[in-house]
Homo-oligomer: A and B are copies of this chain.
Amino acid sequence: MTASAVEPQRIRFDAPLALSSGASISDYELVYETYGEPNADGSNAVLVCHALNASHHVAGVSSLDPDDIGWWDNMVGPGKPVDTRRFFVIGVNNLGSCFGSTGPMSINPATGKPYGPDFPVVTVEDWVHSQARLADRLGIDRFAAVMGGSLGGMQALAWSTLYPERLRHCVAIASAPRLSAQNIAFNEVARRAILTDPEFHGGRFYDHGVVPSRGLQVARMIGHITYLSDDSMAEKFGRALRDNAERAQPGDYRFTFDVEFEIESYLRYQGEKFARYFDANTYLLITRALDYFDPARHAGGDLSQVLGKAHAAFLIASFTTDWRFAPERSREIVQALLKAGRRVSYAEINAPHGHDAFLLEDPQYHAIIRSYFERIAAECAAGGDRE
Contacts and interface: CB of A to CB of B under 8 A. Distances in A.
Interface residues of A, number: 57
Contact of A184 (B222, B263, B294): B263
Interface in A287-317: 288, 291-292, 294, 297-298
A218 B218 contact: yes
Contacts of A120: 255
B189 A292 contact: no
Interface in A225-261: 225, 228, 230, 233-234, 236-239, 251, 253, 255-257, 260-261
Given A121-B256, A284-B257, A181 B263 contact: yes
Given A191-B257, A234-B180, A253-B292, A263 B185 contact: yes
Interface in A263-289: 263-264, 267-268, 271, 284, 288
A225 B182 contact: yes
A186 B225 contact: yes
Most chain B beta-carbon contacts within 10 A, residue among A185, A263, A292, A294: A185
Chief secondary structure at chain A's binding surface? helix
A195 interface: yes
Contact of A297 (B23, B251, B298): B251
B21 A261 contact: no
A79 interface: no
Nearest to A218: B193
Contacts of A268: 188, 192
A174 B185 CA distance: 23
A260 B184 CA distance: 10
Contacts of A180: 230, 233-234, 239
Nearest to A301: B239
Contact of A239 (B214, B228, B239, B294): B294
Contact of A192 (B182, B221, B233, B255): B221
Contact of A185 (B121, B218, B233, B260): B233
A271 B267 CA distance: 23
Contacts of A214: 196-197
B184 A261 contact: yes
The 3 A-B pairs with the shortest beta carbon distances in the complex, nearest first, are A21-B255, A121-B255, A196-B214
Interface of A: 20-23, 120-121, 178-182, 184-186, 188-189, 191-193, 195-198, 214, 217-218, 221-222, 224-225, 228, 230, 233-234, 236-239, 251, 253, 255-257, 260-261, 263-264, 267-268, 271, 284, 288, 291-292, 294, 297-298
